[in-house]
Structure 1
Amino acid sequence: MTAVLFDMDGVLVDSEDYWVEFQREDILPATVPDEDVAVAETSGMHFREIYDYLDDEYGAAISREAFVQRFTEAAAEIYTERADLLDGCHDLLAELDDRGVPTALVSSSPHEWIGMVTERFDLETEFDHVISADDIDAASKPAPDIFEYAAAEIGVPAADCVVVEDSENGIEAAARAGMVVIAYRVDAHGDIDRSPAADVVDSPAALRERTLALTE
Protein backbone atom coordinates (compact mmCIF):
# COMPACT_ATOMS: atom_id res chain seq x y z
CA MET A 1 0.00 0.00 0.00
CA THR A 2 1.17 3.53 -0.77
CA ALA A 3 0.16 6.62 1.18
CA VAL A 4 0.45 10.21 -0.01
CA LEU A 5 1.46 12.95 2.41
CA PHE A 6 0.86 16.56 1.41
CA ASP A 7 2.56 19.58 2.90
CA MET A 8 0.20 22.52 3.32
CA ASP A 9 2.04 25.80 2.72
CA GLY A 10 3.21 26.07 -0.87
CA VAL A 11 1.56 22.80 -1.90
CA LEU A 12 -2.12 22.60 -0.95
CA VAL A 13 -2.39 26.38 -0.78
CA ASP A 14 -0.21 29.03 -2.42
CA SER A 15 0.51 30.66 0.93
CA GLU A 16 4.26 30.30 0.60
CA ASP A 17 4.54 33.41 -1.57
CA TYR A 18 2.83 35.41 1.16
CA TRP A 19 4.85 33.84 3.95
CA VAL A 20 8.11 34.56 2.13
CA GLU A 21 7.02 38.18 1.68
CA PHE A 22 6.05 38.42 5.35
CA GLN A 23 9.32 36.95 6.56
CA ARG A 24 11.49 38.97 4.19
CA GLU A 25 9.71 42.30 4.69
CA ASP A 26 8.44 42.06 8.26
CA ILE A 27 9.47 39.40 10.74
CA LEU A 28 13.14 38.88 9.87
CA PRO A 29 14.00 42.62 9.79
CA ALA A 30 12.13 43.09 13.08
CA THR A 31 13.71 40.09 14.81
CA VAL A 32 17.29 40.26 13.51
CA PRO A 33 17.59 43.79 12.07
CA ASP A 34 21.37 43.68 11.71
CA GLU A 35 21.53 40.33 9.92
CA ASP A 36 20.88 39.28 6.32
CA VAL A 37 19.01 36.01 6.90
CA ALA A 38 17.71 34.12 3.87
CA VAL A 39 14.08 33.01 4.14
CA ALA A 40 15.09 29.52 2.97
CA GLU A 41 17.11 29.18 6.18
CA THR A 42 13.93 28.82 8.24
CA SER A 43 11.37 27.74 5.64
CA GLY A 44 9.38 24.68 6.70
CA MET A 45 10.17 25.10 10.40
CA HIS A 46 7.49 25.50 13.08
CA PHE A 47 7.14 29.23 13.61
CA ARG A 48 7.94 29.02 17.32
CA GLU A 49 11.15 27.18 16.53
CA ILE A 50 12.04 29.91 14.05
CA TYR A 51 12.23 32.32 16.97
CA ASP A 52 14.47 29.96 18.94
CA TYR A 53 16.70 29.46 15.91
CA LEU A 54 17.05 33.18 15.22
CA ASP A 55 17.65 33.97 18.87
CA ASP A 56 20.30 31.25 19.21
CA GLU A 57 22.07 32.07 15.96
CA TYR A 58 21.86 35.86 15.87
CA GLY A 59 20.16 37.20 19.00
CA ALA A 60 16.52 38.32 18.76
CA ALA A 61 15.71 42.03 18.96
CA ILE A 62 12.05 41.45 19.88
CA SER A 63 10.36 39.32 22.52
CA ARG A 64 8.92 35.88 21.85
CA GLU A 65 5.46 37.26 22.60
CA ALA A 66 5.79 40.00 19.97
CA PHE A 67 7.15 37.49 17.47
CA VAL A 68 4.26 35.06 18.03
CA GLN A 69 1.69 37.86 17.76
CA ARG A 70 3.07 39.01 14.40
CA PHE A 71 3.00 35.47 13.04
CA THR A 72 -0.51 34.78 14.35
CA GLU A 73 -1.92 37.95 12.79
CA ALA A 74 -0.20 37.19 9.49
CA ALA A 75 -1.56 33.63 9.47
CA ALA A 76 -5.15 34.79 9.89
CA GLU A 77 -4.83 37.18 6.95
CA ILE A 78 -2.98 34.75 4.67
CA TYR A 79 -5.19 31.72 5.26
CA THR A 80 -8.60 33.38 5.41
CA GLU A 81 -8.15 36.11 2.80
CA ARG A 82 -5.16 35.76 0.50
CA ALA A 83 -4.13 32.16 -0.21
CA ASP A 84 -5.80 30.06 -2.91
CA LEU A 85 -6.24 26.29 -3.09
CA LEU A 86 -4.12 24.15 -5.40
CA ASP A 87 -5.91 23.74 -8.73
CA GLY A 88 -7.52 20.31 -8.93
CA CYS A 89 -6.91 19.53 -5.27
CA HIS A 90 -10.34 18.04 -4.58
CA ASP A 91 -10.23 15.93 -7.74
CA LEU A 92 -6.78 14.56 -6.93
CA LEU A 93 -7.80 13.64 -3.40
CA ALA A 94 -10.96 11.99 -4.73
CA GLU A 95 -8.95 9.90 -7.21
CA LEU A 96 -6.59 8.76 -4.48
CA ASP A 97 -9.55 7.87 -2.28
CA ASP A 98 -11.11 5.85 -5.11
CA ARG A 99 -7.87 3.88 -5.34
CA GLY A 100 -7.88 3.22 -1.61
CA VAL A 101 -4.71 5.27 -1.10
CA PRO A 102 -4.51 6.83 2.39
CA THR A 103 -3.76 10.54 2.44
CA ALA A 104 -2.48 12.88 5.10
CA LEU A 105 -1.98 16.60 5.46
CA VAL A 106 1.38 16.97 7.24
CA SER A 107 2.39 20.49 8.21
CA SER A 108 4.69 22.39 10.53
CA SER A 109 1.82 24.83 11.06
CA PRO A 110 -0.27 24.56 14.24
CA HIS A 111 -3.69 22.90 14.06
CA GLU A 112 -5.40 26.28 14.42
CA TRP A 113 -3.84 27.46 11.15
CA ILE A 114 -4.49 24.16 9.40
CA GLY A 115 -8.12 24.45 10.46
CA MET A 116 -8.41 27.84 8.77
CA VAL A 117 -7.40 26.21 5.48
CA THR A 118 -9.44 23.03 5.76
CA GLU A 119 -12.58 24.94 6.76
CA ARG A 120 -12.26 27.64 4.11
CA PHE A 121 -11.64 25.18 1.27
CA ASP A 122 -13.95 22.35 2.42
CA LEU A 123 -11.11 19.95 3.15
CA GLU A 124 -12.20 18.95 6.65
CA THR A 125 -13.14 15.39 5.63
CA GLU A 126 -10.82 14.99 2.63
CA PHE A 127 -7.76 13.59 4.42
CA ASP A 128 -7.48 10.38 6.39
CA HIS A 129 -5.07 12.10 8.77
CA VAL A 130 -4.21 15.71 9.61
CA ILE A 131 -0.87 16.00 11.36
CA SER A 132 0.74 19.12 12.80
CA ALA A 133 4.18 19.64 14.29
CA ASP A 134 2.22 20.44 17.45
CA ASP A 135 1.42 16.72 17.71
CA ILE A 136 5.00 15.72 18.43
CA ASP A 137 7.69 16.79 20.86
CA ALA A 138 10.54 16.66 18.39
CA ALA A 139 12.69 18.74 16.09
CA SER A 140 11.20 20.60 13.13
CA LYS A 141 12.07 19.99 9.50
CA PRO A 142 14.70 19.28 8.17
CA ALA A 143 14.64 16.62 10.90
CA PRO A 144 12.56 13.65 9.68
CA ASP A 145 10.52 13.30 12.89
CA ILE A 146 7.17 14.62 11.66
CA PHE A 147 7.19 12.33 8.63
CA GLU A 148 8.24 9.31 10.67
CA TYR A 149 5.38 10.09 13.05
CA ALA A 150 2.96 10.45 10.14
CA ALA A 151 3.91 7.07 8.69
CA ALA A 152 3.36 5.43 12.07
CA GLU A 153 -0.03 7.12 12.45
CA ILE A 154 -1.14 6.01 8.99
CA GLY A 155 0.26 2.53 9.52
CA VAL A 156 2.34 2.47 6.34
CA PRO A 157 6.12 1.90 6.14
CA ALA A 158 8.03 5.08 5.38
CA ALA A 159 9.38 3.57 2.17
CA ASP A 160 5.80 3.22 0.91
CA CYS A 161 4.97 6.90 1.42
CA VAL A 162 4.98 9.57 -1.27
CA VAL A 163 5.50 13.09 0.07
CA VAL A 164 4.71 16.31 -1.79
CA GLU A 165 6.88 19.13 -0.46
CA ASP A 166 8.00 22.54 -1.66
CA SER A 167 10.61 23.83 0.80
CA GLU A 168 14.23 22.76 1.02
CA ASN A 169 13.85 21.79 4.68
CA GLY A 170 10.68 19.82 3.94
CA ILE A 171 12.20 17.97 1.00
CA GLU A 172 15.23 17.04 3.09
CA ALA A 173 13.08 15.93 6.03
CA ALA A 174 10.94 13.59 3.93
CA ALA A 175 13.98 12.14 2.17
CA ARG A 176 15.71 11.54 5.51
CA ALA A 177 12.60 9.66 6.63
CA GLY A 178 13.14 7.30 3.70
CA MET A 179 10.12 8.45 1.72
CA VAL A 180 9.70 9.12 -2.00
CA VAL A 181 9.61 12.89 -2.47
CA ILE A 182 7.91 14.93 -5.17
CA ALA A 183 9.27 18.47 -5.03
CA TYR A 184 6.65 21.03 -6.02
CA ARG A 185 8.49 24.03 -7.39
CA VAL A 186 7.40 27.35 -5.89
CA ASP A 187 8.84 30.51 -7.40
CA ALA A 188 9.10 32.18 -3.99
CA HIS A 189 11.79 29.69 -2.93
CA GLY A 190 14.04 30.43 -5.88
CA ASP A 191 16.93 28.11 -6.65
CA ILE A 192 16.89 25.88 -3.57
CA ASP A 193 18.37 22.39 -3.31
CA ARG A 194 15.74 19.92 -4.52
CA SER A 195 18.21 17.11 -5.21
CA PRO A 196 16.87 14.74 -2.51
CA ALA A 197 13.54 14.58 -4.39
CA ALA A 198 12.77 11.76 -6.81
CA ASP A 199 10.85 14.16 -9.05
CA VAL A 200 10.44 17.91 -9.45
CA VAL A 201 7.16 19.24 -10.87
CA ASP A 202 6.18 22.76 -11.83
CA SER A 203 2.39 22.75 -12.11
CA PRO A 204 -0.74 21.27 -10.54
CA ALA A 205 -1.28 19.15 -13.66
CA ALA A 206 2.23 17.71 -13.47
CA LEU A 207 1.83 17.10 -9.75
CA ARG A 208 -1.41 15.20 -10.33
CA GLU A 209 0.14 13.10 -13.10
CA ARG A 210 3.22 12.16 -11.07
CA THR A 211 1.30 11.46 -7.86
CA LEU A 212 -1.12 9.14 -9.62
CA ALA A 213 1.72 7.40 -11.46
CA LEU A 214 3.45 6.64 -8.16
CA THR A 215 0.27 5.20 -6.64
CA GLU A 216 -0.79 2.88 -9.46
Structure 2
Amino acid sequence: MDAVLFDMDGVIVDSEEFWHEIEDEIIFADVVAGTPPARDEITGMNYREIYDYLAAEYEVTVEKDEFIAIYQDAAEEIYTENVSVMPQFDALLDTLRDRGVTIAIVSSSPQSWIAMVRERFGLDPLDLVLSAEDIDGPGKPEPAVYEAAAEKLGLDPEDCVVVEDSTNGTQSAHRAGTYVVGYRTETNAETDLSAADTVVEGPTELRKELLAQTESAR
Protein backbone atom coordinates (compact mmCIF):
# COMPACT_ATOMS: atom_id res chain seq x y z
CA MET A 1 0.00 0.00 0.00
CA ASP A 2 1.27 3.46 -0.94
CA ALA A 3 -0.88 5.68 1.30
CA VAL A 4 -2.67 5.71 4.63
CA LEU A 5 -5.77 7.87 4.84
CA PHE A 6 -6.93 8.63 8.37
CA ASP A 7 -10.38 9.71 9.37
CA MET A 8 -10.04 12.31 12.14
CA ASP A 9 -12.95 12.06 14.58
CA GLY A 10 -12.80 8.88 16.61
CA VAL A 11 -9.49 7.86 15.06
CA ILE A 12 -6.84 10.56 15.41
CA VAL A 13 -8.69 12.21 18.30
CA ASP A 14 -11.34 10.92 20.70
CA SER A 15 -13.87 13.59 19.73
CA GLU A 16 -16.77 11.24 19.14
CA GLU A 17 -17.47 10.85 22.84
CA PHE A 18 -17.84 14.62 23.17
CA TRP A 19 -20.01 14.89 20.06
CA HIS A 20 -22.16 12.09 21.44
CA GLU A 21 -22.78 14.19 24.55
CA ILE A 22 -23.88 17.11 22.39
CA GLU A 23 -26.14 14.84 20.36
CA ASP A 24 -27.69 13.21 23.43
CA GLU A 25 -28.21 16.43 25.40
CA ILE A 26 -29.20 18.80 22.58
CA ILE A 27 -29.64 17.25 19.14
CA PHE A 28 -31.68 14.19 20.06
CA ALA A 29 -33.36 15.88 23.03
CA ASP A 30 -34.32 19.27 21.56
CA VAL A 31 -33.92 19.12 17.79
CA VAL A 32 -35.51 15.79 16.85
CA ALA A 33 -39.14 15.31 17.80
CA GLY A 34 -40.19 11.84 18.87
CA THR A 35 -37.95 8.81 18.81
CA PRO A 36 -34.35 9.80 17.99
CA PRO A 37 -32.23 8.00 15.40
CA ALA A 38 -29.66 5.40 16.32
CA ARG A 39 -26.32 7.12 16.82
CA ASP A 40 -24.60 5.12 14.08
CA GLU A 41 -27.04 6.56 11.55
CA ILE A 42 -25.30 9.94 11.73
CA THR A 43 -21.82 9.30 13.14
CA GLY A 44 -19.21 9.95 10.47
CA MET A 45 -21.43 12.23 8.40
CA ASN A 46 -20.76 15.91 7.76
CA TYR A 47 -22.76 17.94 10.24
CA ARG A 48 -24.54 19.89 7.49
CA GLU A 49 -25.60 16.63 5.89
CA ILE A 50 -26.72 15.33 9.29
CA TYR A 51 -29.40 18.01 9.29
CA ASP A 52 -30.52 17.08 5.78
CA TYR A 53 -30.70 13.42 6.80
CA LEU A 54 -32.66 14.14 9.99
CA ALA A 55 -35.05 16.49 8.16
CA ALA A 56 -35.73 13.79 5.55
CA GLU A 57 -36.12 10.85 7.93
CA TYR A 58 -37.40 12.44 11.16
CA GLU A 59 -39.26 15.50 12.39
CA VAL A 60 -36.88 18.36 13.26
CA THR A 61 -37.85 21.38 15.33
CA VAL A 62 -35.21 23.95 14.27
CA GLU A 63 -34.03 25.51 11.03
CA LYS A 64 -30.76 24.42 9.45
CA ASP A 65 -28.90 27.61 10.41
CA GLU A 66 -29.67 27.06 14.09
CA PHE A 67 -28.68 23.41 13.83
CA ILE A 68 -25.35 24.29 12.22
CA ALA A 69 -24.68 26.90 14.91
CA ILE A 70 -24.99 24.23 17.62
CA TYR A 71 -22.15 22.24 16.07
CA GLN A 72 -20.01 25.25 15.28
CA ASP A 73 -20.32 26.60 18.83
CA ALA A 74 -19.24 23.26 20.27
CA ALA A 75 -16.37 22.55 17.89
CA GLU A 76 -13.73 24.95 19.22
CA GLU A 77 -14.10 23.77 22.81
CA ILE A 78 -14.08 20.13 21.77
CA TYR A 79 -11.01 20.34 19.53
CA THR A 80 -8.90 22.87 21.46
CA GLU A 81 -9.69 21.78 25.01
CA ASN A 82 -11.40 18.41 25.32
CA VAL A 83 -9.94 15.89 22.92
CA SER A 84 -6.84 13.77 23.30
CA VAL A 85 -4.78 12.46 20.40
CA MET A 86 -4.38 8.74 19.80
CA PRO A 87 -1.56 7.37 22.01
CA GLN A 88 1.75 7.21 20.10
CA PHE A 89 0.16 8.67 16.98
CA ASP A 90 3.17 10.93 16.39
CA ALA A 91 5.47 7.90 16.44
CA LEU A 92 3.20 6.08 13.99
CA LEU A 93 3.30 9.03 11.60
CA ASP A 94 7.09 9.22 11.86
CA THR A 95 7.43 5.52 11.03
CA LEU A 96 5.11 5.82 8.04
CA ARG A 97 7.01 8.87 6.78
CA ASP A 98 10.32 7.01 7.15
CA ARG A 99 8.86 4.30 4.91
CA GLY A 100 7.90 6.83 2.27
CA VAL A 101 4.19 6.27 2.83
CA THR A 102 1.81 9.03 1.76
CA ILE A 103 -0.25 10.30 4.71
CA ALA A 104 -3.61 12.04 4.53
CA ILE A 105 -6.52 13.11 6.70
CA VAL A 106 -9.90 12.57 5.05
CA SER A 107 -12.67 13.82 7.29
CA SER A 108 -16.30 14.86 7.33
CA SER A 109 -15.29 17.77 9.56
CA PRO A 110 -14.64 21.15 7.91
CA GLN A 111 -11.09 22.35 7.35
CA SER A 112 -11.31 24.84 10.22
CA TRP A 113 -11.98 22.02 12.71
CA ILE A 114 -9.23 19.85 11.23
CA ALA A 115 -6.82 22.79 11.49
CA MET A 116 -7.43 23.04 15.23
CA VAL A 117 -6.38 19.42 15.67
CA ARG A 118 -3.39 19.72 13.33
CA GLU A 119 -2.08 22.77 15.16
CA ARG A 120 -2.75 21.54 18.68
CA PHE A 121 -1.09 18.15 18.18
CA GLY A 122 1.54 19.05 15.58
CA LEU A 123 0.40 16.62 12.90
CA ASP A 124 2.03 18.33 9.93
CA PRO A 125 3.48 17.76 7.41
CA LEU A 126 0.71 15.85 5.68
CA ASP A 127 0.43 15.00 2.00
CA LEU A 128 -3.27 15.81 1.85
CA VAL A 129 -5.97 17.16 4.13
CA LEU A 130 -9.40 16.71 2.58
CA SER A 131 -12.76 17.63 4.05
CA ALA A 132 -16.06 16.36 2.74
CA GLU A 133 -16.94 20.04 2.32
CA ASP A 134 -14.12 20.40 -0.24
CA ILE A 135 -15.63 18.09 -2.82
CA ASP A 136 -18.48 18.44 -5.26
CA GLY A 137 -20.37 15.37 -4.20
CA PRO A 138 -22.08 13.68 -1.26
CA GLY A 139 -20.16 12.91 1.91
CA LYS A 140 -19.84 9.65 3.80
CA PRO A 141 -21.30 6.98 3.48
CA GLU A 142 -21.03 7.69 -0.25
CA PRO A 143 -17.55 7.03 -1.73
CA ALA A 144 -16.92 10.45 -3.31
CA VAL A 145 -14.59 11.85 -0.64
CA TYR A 146 -12.26 8.84 -0.73
CA GLU A 147 -12.35 8.68 -4.50
CA ALA A 148 -11.39 12.35 -4.58
CA ALA A 149 -8.58 11.80 -2.07
CA ALA A 150 -7.03 9.01 -4.13
CA GLU A 151 -7.31 11.11 -7.28
CA LYS A 152 -5.67 14.12 -5.64
CA LEU A 153 -2.82 11.89 -4.46
CA GLY A 154 -2.41 10.40 -7.93
CA LEU A 155 -3.15 6.90 -6.64
CA ASP A 156 -5.63 4.15 -7.33
CA PRO A 157 -8.02 3.62 -4.40
CA GLU A 158 -6.89 0.01 -4.07
CA ASP A 159 -3.40 1.28 -3.23
CA CYS A 160 -4.74 3.20 -0.22
CA VAL A 161 -5.37 2.04 3.35
CA VAL A 162 -8.18 3.88 5.12
CA VAL A 163 -8.65 3.96 8.90
CA GLU A 164 -12.25 4.57 9.94
CA ASP A 165 -14.26 4.16 13.14
CA SER A 166 -17.88 4.59 11.99
CA THR A 167 -20.41 2.66 9.94
CA ASN A 168 -20.77 5.53 7.49
CA GLY A 169 -17.01 5.96 7.21
CA THR A 170 -16.19 2.30 6.62
CA GLN A 171 -18.96 2.07 4.03
CA SER A 172 -17.62 5.14 2.23
CA ALA A 173 -14.08 3.79 2.06
CA HIS A 174 -15.25 0.31 1.04
CA ARG A 175 -17.40 1.69 -1.75
CA ALA A 176 -14.42 3.69 -3.01
CA GLY A 177 -12.40 0.48 -3.36
CA THR A 178 -9.79 1.10 -0.66
CA TYR A 179 -8.48 -1.35 1.91
CA VAL A 180 -10.44 -0.47 5.04
CA VAL A 181 -9.22 -0.84 8.61
CA GLY A 182 -12.00 -0.49 11.16
CA TYR A 183 -10.70 1.14 14.33
CA ARG A 184 -12.41 -0.15 17.47
CA THR A 185 -12.37 1.65 20.84
CA GLU A 186 -14.63 1.74 23.89
CA THR A 187 -16.61 4.59 22.34
CA ASN A 188 -17.63 2.60 19.25
CA ALA A 189 -17.71 -0.85 20.83
CA GLU A 190 -21.13 -1.66 19.36
CA THR A 191 -20.69 0.06 15.99
CA ASP A 192 -21.17 -1.98 12.83
CA LEU A 193 -17.78 -2.04 11.11
CA SER A 194 -18.60 -4.98 8.85
CA ALA A 195 -17.72 -2.98 5.72
CA ALA A 196 -14.07 -2.95 6.84
CA ASP A 197 -11.59 -5.50 5.52
CA THR A 198 -10.23 -5.94 9.02
CA VAL A 199 -11.00 -4.54 12.47
CA VAL A 200 -8.34 -3.65 15.04
CA GLU A 201 -8.76 -2.72 18.68
CA GLY A 202 -6.77 0.24 19.91
CA PRO A 203 -3.56 1.92 18.78
CA THR A 204 -1.20 -1.03 19.26
CA GLU A 205 -3.16 -3.30 16.93
CA LEU A 206 -3.63 -0.42 14.49
CA ARG A 207 0.11 0.22 14.31
CA LYS A 208 0.79 -3.48 13.69
CA GLU A 209 -1.79 -3.61 10.89
CA LEU A 210 -0.61 -0.43 9.17
CA LEU A 211 3.04 -1.48 9.29
CA ALA A 212 2.10 -4.83 7.80
CA GLN A 213 0.10 -3.19 5.01
CA THR A 214 2.89 -0.73 4.16
CA GLU A 215 5.81 -3.14 4.43
CA SER A 216 6.45 -3.01 0.68
CA ALA A 217 6.87 0.78 0.85
CA ARG A 218 10.08 0.47 2.86
TM-score calculated relative to the size of structure 2:
0.95
Counterpart residue number, 2:83: 83
Counterpart residue number, 1:157: 156
Residues 115-153 of structure 1, C-alpha deviation per residue, up to 9 Å, x if partnerless? 111011111x23111000111021111101000000001
Whole-Å separation in 2 of the counterparts to 1:185 and 1:4: 17
Counterpart residue number, 1:182: 181
- The answer as to whether partners of 2:3 and 2:102 remain within 8 angstroms in 1 is yes
Q: Quick check: 1:55 aligned with 2:29?
A: no
Q: Quick check: 1:207 aligned with 2:206?
A: yes
Unaligned runs of 5+ in 1: none
Cα shift at 1:213: 0.6
Residues 178-207 of structure 1, C-alpha deviation per residue, up to 9 Å, x if partnerless? 111110013223422212212111111111
- Single out whichever of 179-188 and 151-160 deviates more from structure 2: 179-188
- Single out whichever of 33-42 and 167-176 deviates more from structure 2: 33-42
Unaligned runs of 5+ in 2: none
Q: Quick check: 1:43 aligned with 2:51?
A: no
Residues 145-170 of structure 1, C-alpha deviation per residue, up to 9 Å, x if partnerless? 00000000111110010000000100
Whole-Å separation in 1 of the counterparts to 2:134 and 2:205: 31
Whole-Å separation in 2 of the counterparts to 1:113 and 1:91: 23
Whole-Å separation in 2 of the counterparts to 1:94 and 1:210: 16
The DSSP-based 3-state class of the residue aligned with 1:35 is coil
Cα shift at 1:66: 1.2
Counterpart residue number, 1:74: 74
Whole-Å separation in 2 of the counterparts to 1:85 and 1:126: 16
Residues 5-64 of structure 1, C-alpha deviation per residue, up to 9 Å, x if partnerless? 000000000111111221122112221131221111111111001111111111320111
Q: Which residues in structure 2 correspond to 1:1-216 (within 5 Å)?
A: 2-123=2-123, 125-216=124-215
Whole-Å separation in 1 of the counterparts to 2:98 and 2:187: 33
Whole-Å separation in 2 of the counterparts to 1:157 and 1:180: 11
State the identity as a percent: 48
Task: State how many pairs are aligned.
Answer: 215
Aligned-partner residue type, residue 93 of structure 2: L
Whole-Å separation in 2 of the counterparts to 1:111 and 1:9: 13
Aligned-partner residue type, residue 168 of structure 1: T
- The answer as to whether partners of 1:165 and 1:184 remain within 8 angstroms in 2 is yes
- The answer as to whether partners of 2:34 and 2:59 remain within 8 angstroms in 1 is no
The DSSP-based 3-state class of the residue aligned with 2:182 is strand
Whole-Å separation in 2 of the counterparts to 1:126 and 1:199: 27
CA RMSD across the alignment: 1.1
